[in-house]
Amino acid sequence: MYKIAIAGAGAMGGRIGVSIKDAGYDVTLIDNWEEHVKRINTKGMEIKTENDTFFVNLPAVLTKDISTKFDLIIILTKAMASEEMLQSLHEAGCIHNDTAILSMMNGLGHEERLSQIVPLSQIYLAVTMWTAGLRGPGQLLLEGEGSIYLQRADGAMDAHTNTILQILNDSGLNAQISTNVFEAIWSKATLNSVLNPLCTILNKTIYEFGNDAYSNEIVMAIIEEIVAVAKAKGIHLDNNALLKKVELSYPKDAQGLHYPSMHQDYTNGRLTEIDYLNGQISTYGKEFDVPTPINTMLTHLIHQLESKL
């Protein structure tokens, strides 16, 4: 039977894992949070939706205890934990020569880092528009609808791509194969590179930030740097389309009432993914000799905040 692992069973990992389990697939959650893993194994994953609360039974294992070989491993750790997770799974013998590694993480450059551990031909990239919340150990909050776009990292089409697509769509996750997933990844990374650091530094909700008369001047300055860096990497992005994407998140009936994930990480005493967003933009900017002073400044400011943790 096709064996699937979700490496990183937080909010989104839990959502994806539960959906795949409900579709009848053999799926295992892998995580390092002992209390979370224990509660899932003893009580099941508690799911709260807009209308109901119920439990889904599926196995969860600590990373240090895993040894099963998997055909598909979906990486949904925090970005800074992904390489250590993949290396641990590799050393534990969980990855064979035909294992597909699907990254659904936020941020940029994951294919470059993960391909230091497994061949690029085994790596698949996805961008997801689903949302999820973690209310506590073994407790998920699932609201709204979403979609997933995926592609093999080297652009090739193979049988694994179709298998992954089938699994995700059997699970009701609205997946599509992309012919240029990098544009979708960079588009989402732009949204995150704008709202995450600004709302964290300013301590504002998305609505509070967007409600300021000068917010879009700040936003466009960040976007212009990102578009220039993307162009240097051969990825086409449209400034105005990206600004519109950010603006659509401002209303209270969209994402406006929420603090972005970086704000949540910081206020809960956790390090952020800034190095995989604005920090990665700065890194690419140096590589291609494209100035990124604003993204570099935002990266340094978030690190200044993190130094207080």
Query: Which residues are annotated as catalytic?
Result: 188
**Distance (Å, rounded) from C-alpha 228 to C-alpha 282?**
11
**Distance (Å, rounded) from C-alpha 132 to C-alpha 143?**
7
Catalogue the E-assigned strands of 210-305: none
**Distance (Å, rounded) from C-alpha 129 to C-alpha 157?**
23
Quote the tokens at residue 263: 């704000």
Quote the tokens at residue 19: 């959906």
Quote the tokens at residue 42: 């003893």
Quote the tokens at residue 44: 């099941």
SS3 of 97, please?
A: strand
Helices 293-306 and 215-232: angle between axes, nearest 10 degrees: 110
65: CB partners within 8 A, 6+ apart? none
What is each CA distance from 9 to 21, 65, 137, 250, in whole angstroms? 13, 15, 10, 29
Specify which residues 101 forms β-bridges with: 73, 123
SS3 of 309, please?
A: coil
Specify which residues 276 forms β-bridges with: none
Catalogue the E-assigned strands of 60-174: 60-62, 70-75, 95-103, 123-128, 133-136, 139-141, 148-152
**Distance (Å, rounded) from C-alpha 14 to C-alpha 21?**
10
